[in-house]
């Protein structure tokens, strides 16, 4: 196979009379250089699992062939409306081995390709020698469990999949990625509704000892001696829990086979949600710990 010199590459791109083909040649060249490791790129301290809901960004980048395939899968790299002149300048700098005077922003991930831990969108900037993401993730090792306190003064709680119709909505919230799941739970917390993401798992509420409950999957629970208290159909992939009297006060209707009512000691309870950590757990998986907090004041909720 004939070797094509750098000069021939630049000449070929510069002489192509069709602008679209020139752009395609630029993109193909840069993507190939990224794929073979000659144009190193990094998303910084964003671990691959941070993009776990996005196949294009979570590939096995330690293998060159896989890396190149993944790059072609999102060959929208360099689609940040970068001018043809800028692409050409990047290639010239890369071939010459000299940094550009100013780094160039060449790519931003499309919607829903945000970091699952912090919510930042992936970006790539380049100086012709390497590409990088300028944003660091505040949770490089992943978020820990998060905690909210709720009051159940009636001594009964209602457990079901979705109670959002009983509290104000927020149109800007969506559930793709841990940071958004956390924000949604935080939004509903002041309205005294426990609302947490558990995927399409249909978990149950289990009592493991007095005043301590778990939300966890149902298989093999007989091995642990847990007492079943409620089952949750996760059509929404979330669950909701609210004090019974507050549920009725807000217009909630008790419908047979739609929700469960569980008697608890009237008190404040701390929800420690760790569904996102279940991948790191040994059996059994536990999504939420719910523990009584011995506090007589039931008037205010507090986030921890």
pLDDT 10s digits, 151-168: 999 999 999 999 999 998
Six token digits for residue 255: 């419908």
Backbone angles phi, psi at 108, to 5 degrees: -130, 135
Provide the 3-class DSSP secondary structure of residue 201: coil
Domain ranges of the chain: 6-132, 146-293
pLDDT 10s digits, 267-291: 999 999 998 776 555 557 889 999 9
pLDDT value of residue 118 = 79
- Decide if pLDDT at 74 tops 60: no
Name the strand (E) or helix (H) holding 245: helix 244-249
Position with higher pLDDT, 202 vs 75 = 202
CB 213 within 8 A of CB 169: no
Residue appearing with tokens 């089952």: 231
Six token digits for residue 4: 């094509």
Which region holds residue 293: left if phi is over 0, alpha if psi is between -120 and 50, else beta? beta
Provide the 3-class DSSP secondary structure of residue 210: coil
CB 263 within 8 A of CB 155: yes
pLDDT 10s digits, 132-146: 888 888 887 778 888
Provide the 3-class DSSP secondary structure of residue 228: strand
Tell how many helices (H) and how many strands (E) occur in the chain: 6, 14
Most confident residue range from 38-47, 80-89, 95-104, 292-301: 95-104
Half-sphere exposure of 75 toward its Cβ, with a 13 Å CA cutoff?
A: 16
pLDDT confidence tier of residue 1, bands split at 50, 70 and 90: very low
Six token digits for residue 231: 């089952």
Position with higher pLDDT, 169 vs 235 = 235
Position with higher pLDDT, 250 vs 169 = 250
Contacts of 156 (CB under 8 A, 6+ apart): 243, 244, 245, 261, 262, 263, 264
- Decide if pLDDT at 62 tops 50: no
pLDDT value of residue 16 = 66
Over residues 242-249, the mean pLDDT reads 97
What is the spatial distance between Cα 52 and Cα 18, in angstroms, rounded to a whole number? 39
Most confident residue range from 14-28, 121-135, 244-258: 244-258
Provide the strand spans (E) within 33-103.
41-42
Provide the 3-class DSSP secondary structure of residue 206: strand
Q: How far from 182 is each of 46, 49, 137, 148, 230, CA to CA, in Å? A: 18, 17, 16, 11, 23
Six token digits for residue 27: 């993109």
Position with higher pLDDT, 73 vs 90 = 90
For the stretch 162-173, what's the b/e string if a residue is b when 16 or more beta carbons lie within 10 angstroms of its beta carbon? bbbebbeeeeee
Contacts of 71 (CB under 8 A, 6+ apart): 31, 34, 35, 77
Q: What is the DSSP string of 106-127?
A: EEE--TT-B-TTT-PBPEEEE-
Length of the chain: 304
pLDDT value of residue 300 = 43
What is the spatial distance between Cα 225 and Cα 220, in angstroms, rounded to a whole number? 10
């Amino acid at each position: 196979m004939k070797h094509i010199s750098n000069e021939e590459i630049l000449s070929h791109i510069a002489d192509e009379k069709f602008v679209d083909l020139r752009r395609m040649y630029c993109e193909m060249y840069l993507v190939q250089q990224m794929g073979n490791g000659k144009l190193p790129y990094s998303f910084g301290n964003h671990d691959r699992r941070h993009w776990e809901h996005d196949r294009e960004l979570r590939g096995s980048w330690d293998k060159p062939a896989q890396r190149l395939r993944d790059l072609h899968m999102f060959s929208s790299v360099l689609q940040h409306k970068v001018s043809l002149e800028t692409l050409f300048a990047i290639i010239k700098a890369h071939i010459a081995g000299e940094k550009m005077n100013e780094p160039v922003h060449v790519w931003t991930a499309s919607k829903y390709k945000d970091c699952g831990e912090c919510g930042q969108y992936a970006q790539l900037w380049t100086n012709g020698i390497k590409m990088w993401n300028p944003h660091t993730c505040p949770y490089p090792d992943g978020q820990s469990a998060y905690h909210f306190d709720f009051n159940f003064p009636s001594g009964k709680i209602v457990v079901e999949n979705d109670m959002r119709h009983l509290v104000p909505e927020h149109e800007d919230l969506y559930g793709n990625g841990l940071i958004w799941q956390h924000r949604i739970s935080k939004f509903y917390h002041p309205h005294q509704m426990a609302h947490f993401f558990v995927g399409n798992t249909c978990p149950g509420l289990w009592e493991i000892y007095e005043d301590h409950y778990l939300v966890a999957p149902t298989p093999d629970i007989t091995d642990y001696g847990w007492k079943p208290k409620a089952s949750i159909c996760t059509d929404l992939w979330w669950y909701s829990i609210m004090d019974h009297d507050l549920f009725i006060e807000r217009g909630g209707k008790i419908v047979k086979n739609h929700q469960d009512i569980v008697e608890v000691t009237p008190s404040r309870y701390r929800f420690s949600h760790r569904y996102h950590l279940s991948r790191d757990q040994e059996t059994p998986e536990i999504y939420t710990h719910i523990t009584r907090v011995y506090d007589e004041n039931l008037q205010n909720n507090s986030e921890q």
